[in-house]
């Protein structure tokens, strides 16, 4: 007597083969994804590794190692001469202090100004609200180099009052490196997106209890906007720390220059590539460590600010 294969029997026979094929596809996809991650890690990591390793080598060895894998390995003559040369050649401590001061002030003031602007655009209702938001977002497509010269002219006309009395022009001051970068269209947009996702019923309940707009902003909206605050803080700090073109245009006094401009000192007269690598490592590694330490919070805050709303 011959057994007849039914559709159910065929399906039971094909199921293990289908499962094995699916598992193989998952393995291949996982392997390709892992390979892509390794390639991206090498593309972004090898230049940093080369910079750090070269900072311990004399110039002659840096160039002799360029044609081999030795350029990425801590081999040969290694010492701290380049790092000591950095502190002998430039007032690095002053440059670093200036960068910290400028970056922290820009972040702190930017969080207040941009969050208030976004709060007004997302929670209040007034005529021309969407037009104002559109104009703010339109500034994102304008490169800073286009605005640099007009901005330079304007800051040179602004009044300035200090212990010596009244004068005109902000050139060669700390505030000229901070104030133009406090308001930021992208920061306003991130805050706007997040604030818009917070239920407006909370505003109505607070208004019934007698709260004004500022109290709603301070006591209700901002405490709920932690992810947006983290995102804006990090994305504001990095450009402020990396400022180069603008300080080069507006600051002449050495004691007011940030760390990024200080690298120009090593391009004059006797160029020392080892000292350039050492200087770049000193100003890069702390920021890199900070980002790695807060990587999870940064990614989560970006996702929260981008997905909400």
**285-300 pLDDT per residue, tens:** 778 777 777 666 666 6
Kindly report the pTM of this predicted structure: 0.81
How would you write 193-216 as a 3-class SS string? HHHHHCCCHHHHHHHHCCCCHHHH
Write the Ramachandran bin of 78: left for phi over 0, alpha for psi from -120 to 50, otherwise beta: beta
Q: Which tokens hold the place of 223?
A: 């405490």
**Is there a domain that residue 81 lies in?**
no
Calculate mean pLDDT across residues 143-147: 89
**Is there a domain that residue 11 lies in?**
no
What pLDDT shows up at residue 58? 92
- State the DSSP code for 251: -
CA gap 79, 89 in Å, rounded:
17
**20-67 pLDDT per residue, tens:** 777 777 888 888 999 999 999 889 889 989 999 999 999 999 999 888
Tell me: do 182 and 39 sit in the same domain: no
Calculate mean pLDDT across residues 168-174: 88
Total structural domains within the chain: 2
CA 244, 248, 250, 253 torsion: positive or negative? positive
Q: Which tokens hold the place of 228?
A: 């947006």
What pLDDT shows up at residue 175? 93
Tell me: do 132 and 39 sit in the same domain: no
**Is there a domain that residue 84 lies in?**
no
**102-127 pLDDT per residue, tens:** 999 999 999 999 999 999 998 888 88
Tell me: do 42 and 131 sit in the same domain: no
**Is there a domain that residue 155 lies in?**
yes
Tell me: do 96 and 67 sit in the same domain: no
CA gap 267, 215 in Å, rounded:
53
The CATH number linked to 198 is 1.10.3720.10
The per-residue pLDDT of the chain, averaged, comes to: 85
Tell me: do 55 and 100 sit in the same domain: no
Tell me: do 158 and 53 sit in the same domain: no
Q: Which domain holds residue 32?
A: 18-72
Tell me: do 221 and 299 sit in the same domain: yes
**Is there a domain that residue 39 lies in?**
yes
**Is there a domain that residue 77 lies in?**
no
Tell me: do 43 and 109 sit in the same domain: no
C-alpha gyration radius of the chain = 28
Tell me: do 48 and 120 sit in the same domain: no
**Is there a domain that residue 13 lies in?**
no
Tell me: do 103 and 62 sit in the same domain: no
Tell me: do 43 and 139 sit in the same domain: no
Residues 6+ away with beta carbon under 8 Å from 87: 93
**Is there a domain that residue 111 lies in?**
yes
**255-278 pLDDT per residue, tens:** 999 999 988 888 876 888 999 999
Calculate mean pLDDT across residues 178-189: 93
Q: Which tokens hold the place of 28?
A: 């291949």
Calculate mean pLDDT across residues 118-144: 89
What pLDDT shows up at residue 309? 44
- Identify the CA nearest to 248 among candidates 239, 240, 257: 257
Residue 239 has pLDDT above 70, yes or no: yes
């Amino acid at each position: 007597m011959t057994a007849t294969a039914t559709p159910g029997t065929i399906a039971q026979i094909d199921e293990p083969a289908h499962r094995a094929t699916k598992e193989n596809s998952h393995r291949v996809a996982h392997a390709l994804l892992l390979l892509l991650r390794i390639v991206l890690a090498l593309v972004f990591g090898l230049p940093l590794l080369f910079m750090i390793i070269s900072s311990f080598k004399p110039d002659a060895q840096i160039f002799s190692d360029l044609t081999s894998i030795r350029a990425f390995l801590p081999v040969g003559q290694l010492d701290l001469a380049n790092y000591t040369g950095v502190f002998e050649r430039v007032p690095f401590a002053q440059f670093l202090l200036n960068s910290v001061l400028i970056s922290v002030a820009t972040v702190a003031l930017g969080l207040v100004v941009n969050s208030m602007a976004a709060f007004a655009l997302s929670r209040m209702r007034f005529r021309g609200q969407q037009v104002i938001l559109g104009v703010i977002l339109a500034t994102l497509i304008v490169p800073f180099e286009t605005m640099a010269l007009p901005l330079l002219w304007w800051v040179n006309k602004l009044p300035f009052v200090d212990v010596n009395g009244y004068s005109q022009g902000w050139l060669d001051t700390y505030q000229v490196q901070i104030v133009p970068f406090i308001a930021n269209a992208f920061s306003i947009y991130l805050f706007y997106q997040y604030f818009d996702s917070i239920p407006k019923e909370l505003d109505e309940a607070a208004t019934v209890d007698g709260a004004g707009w500022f109290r709603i902003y301070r006591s209700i909206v901002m405490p709920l906007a932690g992810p947006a605050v983290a995102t804006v803080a990090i994305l504001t700090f990095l450009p402020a720390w990396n400022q180069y073109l603008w300080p080069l245009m507006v600051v002449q006094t050495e004691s007011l220059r940030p760390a990024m401009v200080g690298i120009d000192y090593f391009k004059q007269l006797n160029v020392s590539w080892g000292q350039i690598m050492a200087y770049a490592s000193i100003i890069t590694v702390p920021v890199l460590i900070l980002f790695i330490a807060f990587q999870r919070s940064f990614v989560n805050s970006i996702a929260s600010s981008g997905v909400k709303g």
